[in-house]
Amino acid sequence: MSVKYNPVIWNRNKYIYDAALLIGVGLYLYIYLRFAPAFQDVTRPLDGPILRMRAFGSCAFLMLTVILCIGPLARLDRRFLPVLYNRRHFGVLTAAVAAVHANYVLGWYFNFSSIDPYVALLQSNTSYTQILGFPFESLGILALIILFVLAATSHDFWLSFLGPPLWKGLHMMIYLAYASVVLHVALGALQGRDDALMTGLVVLSVLAVSSLHFVAGRREAAADACSLVPDVDVAATVAEDGWIVVGEVDEIANNRAKVVSVPGHDRVAVWRYKGKLSALSNACQHQNGPLGEGRIKGGLVTCPWHGYQYRPEDGQSPAPFTERISTYRLKLVGQTILLDPKPFPPGTHVDPVIIGETA
């Protein structure tokens, strides 16, 4: 849904996003086909199908690398969020580019085979017990199957049918696809020729993906640890046991949220708006997007990923939509915000805490 809570439709931003993707892929393929032969250490010019095979294969590998870098980059710097919004389009195009690569492979090596090309491909090498000479083709097929499954289930119909947790778990297989592609290239293309450019590309890709995820994970872990540090002075003034300290009111900008980690439950986003405070689950019902990284627009908490919206007082989407998320109780002691970590059922109304401002 958009930030105005309209159903997802093709809009100007989607057209621009997809046009940029297509232009980028086309430009990469042109540059590769035009200039890559000059960097190949071969005794004779490469055949056209082989060159196109490598062009589409390297393009799919780079696209998969970018896809896996978008998530941590968006967490480290909000300016990358626009690239995240339609990442599913990126994934579908990656699957298509990988399919073209596979088609060139089958057409070049098995076009004149007397048996089915896929059967010939899988039977040409069955040395699964050794590293050198390992049938790397099977790793490429595994990655291609995963990309096809993710592309086929990328539509919101499958998200609604499977449910956000299962759908998201299924799409985490993108990491298995990436690992398979890295091994596919390392045990295949990099074994057959001395290609410093391709070797460097693979190494840089692995370093970029792993380091970005590591840095983003450390930042998330540090934020969670800080949110769990008890404030002894404030806690001593609270009669109820188990409340946790969120922080000071001034730490939260108007129409924004502070996200805290609650043991045993989802993260919680504490929102400040119109002189009030409310607490909701941080997980959007659409794709488990991080609500606390969004803002309140038109009086509604708006997910930064696809614009799904919820009322801050009860976690319900405005009619006619039916999405609901859990709500939490808050308490204000002086200027310190305390949170009851026990969630209410999704859609339960909780009176906001008044902080006395009129913004």
- Over residues 285-297, the pLDDT tens digits come to 887 788 888 889 8
Q: What's the pTM?
A: 0.70
* Three-state SS at 17: helix
Both tokens of residue 197? 């450019």
Position 279 pLDDT exceeds 90: yes
Q: 31-40, 264-273, 334-343 — which one is most confidently predicted on average?
A: 334-343
Cα dihedral sign for 47, 52, 53, 57? positive
- Over residues 304-344, the pLDDT tens digits come to 887 889 999 999 999 888 889 999 999 988 889 999 988 99
- 23: Cα within 13 Å, side-chain hemisphere: 6
Partnered with residue 248 across adjacent β-strands are: 336
Both tokens of residue 241? 């046991």
pLDDT value of residue 271: 94
pLDDT value of residue 36: 77
Position 358 pLDDT exceeds 50: no
Secondary-structure class of domain 232-354 per CATH: mainly beta
pLDDT value of residue 192: 64
How many helices (H) and strands (E) are present in the chain, helices listed first?
Answer: 12, 11
Q: Please report which residue ranges of the chain form alpha helices under DSSP H.
A: 12-35, 48-76, 81-85, 87-109, 117-123, 136-152, 156-162, 164-171, 174-187, 189-192, 196-227, 232-235
